Amino acid sequence: MVYLYKLSALYASLLKLLGYERGIGRFIDKLTLDCPKHLRILDVGCGSGIVGLQFLERFPGATLLATDLEPNFLKETLATARHRGIDVARVEVGVSDISEPHRVRYLDGRTETLADKSFDIVTVGGVMGYSKDQKKSIKALLRLIKPGGYLINLEMNESVVGKFVATTYKCRAMPLAMMCGYIEGTGHRVTVVPFTHSNFPANLTRIGIVARVIASEQDQASDLSPAHESAPPYGAESDLDYSM
């Protein structure tokens, strides 16, 4: 595990001081999304919560389940919410592994298997590279999304800086073209949304991958058997194993 992840308060302060939180916030606020008023959001690998909490600020009728492997980050997410003046009653937190994002253990010890089609937005940021099986994780995340909902991945980009930071954080996501191709192969429309200079410094390391689950394709999402997967249009499968 990355040492800085144990120092969640320091990690959160650094993101704020460096302007990273503001850059991510601007990106989320500019995304074109068609969502119901009372939406339910899941942020997997939430860290200090900057992604999920930004969605809560953008959508005042929303509630958030923020999960992370590290319980200290869950406390940090609640602290960030309080600091940003967000009602913590809108935020639930629990421990979960991106390898099995539907299994959650809440801080009071309760466990839950999240139901299929129960979130309007499922978001991940810089966390897919920690999955033991990234394709399995993507499938599991897509299953959790309601028809019309979105998978929004603020992934590490493939610039020199993005790759350097990802390596430093031991985060090894599959190549982006392969990830997009894989999601499209499961019947979902994918849009790649670049970060721009207005998102600085987050534009140095991140890229947005937005997939919409439309109603007619949701049937495919609910049965994501290999028979439904087509070859990735963005490039051939590599021999490399991108799992950790």
Ligand X SMILES: C[S@@+](CC[C@H](N)C(=O)[O-])C[C@H]1O[C@@H](n2cnc3c(N)ncnc32)[C@H](O)[C@@H]1O
Which residues make up the interface to ligand X (CB under 6 A)? 5, 45-47, 50-51, 68-70, 73, 97-99, 125-127, 130, 154, 169
Q: Cβ 45 to ligand X, closest distance in Å?
A: 3
- Nearest approach in angstroms of CB 122 to ligand X is 12
- Residue 69, burial from CB neighbour count under 10 angstroms (0-12, 13-18, 19+): middle
We find the least distance from the C-beta atom of residue 46 to ligand X, in angstroms, to be: 6
Question: Can you say how many angstroms the Cα of residue 228 is from the centroid of all Cα atoms in its chain?
Answer: 23
CB of 104 to ligand X, least distance (A): 11
